[in-house]
């Protein structure tokens, strides 16, 4: 039996664990590592159907906000 794990799922777990930590002063290295992990996660999930769904939802929200700001 071979066990495989998707890298995007593994990074999602790491991100969850990083965000779940107690609020403490973070070093620049810790903040940079968190940003790098989130960036890699975004790159891995972007070409998937789930990533396209997120992109469509965010673009709809952004269009709604810009339409409200434009006024009548």
pLDDT in tens, 14-46: 888 877 776 676 787 877 887 888 888 887 777
CA angle 39, 41, 47 (to 5 degrees): 105
For the CA atoms of 29, 31, 32, 33, the dihedral, rounded to the nearest 10 degrees, stands at 80
Q: What is the pLDDT of residue 3?
A: 59
Cα distance between residue 40 and residue 14, in whole Å? 12
The average confidence (pLDDT) of the chain is 78
- Residue matched to tokens 């975004």: 42
Whether pTM > 0.75 for this model: the answer is: no
Confidence of residue 4 (pLDDT cuts 50, 70, 90): low
């Amino acid at each position: 039996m071979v066990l495989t794990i998707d890298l995007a799922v593994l990074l999602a777990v790491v991100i969850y664990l990083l965000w779940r930590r107690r609020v403490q002063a973070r070093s620049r290295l810790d903040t940079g590592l968190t940003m790098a992990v989130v960036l890699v996660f975004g790159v891995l999930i972007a070409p998937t159907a789930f990533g396209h769904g997120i992109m469509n939802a965010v673009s709809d929200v952004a269009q709604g906000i810009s339409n409200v700001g434009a006024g009548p």
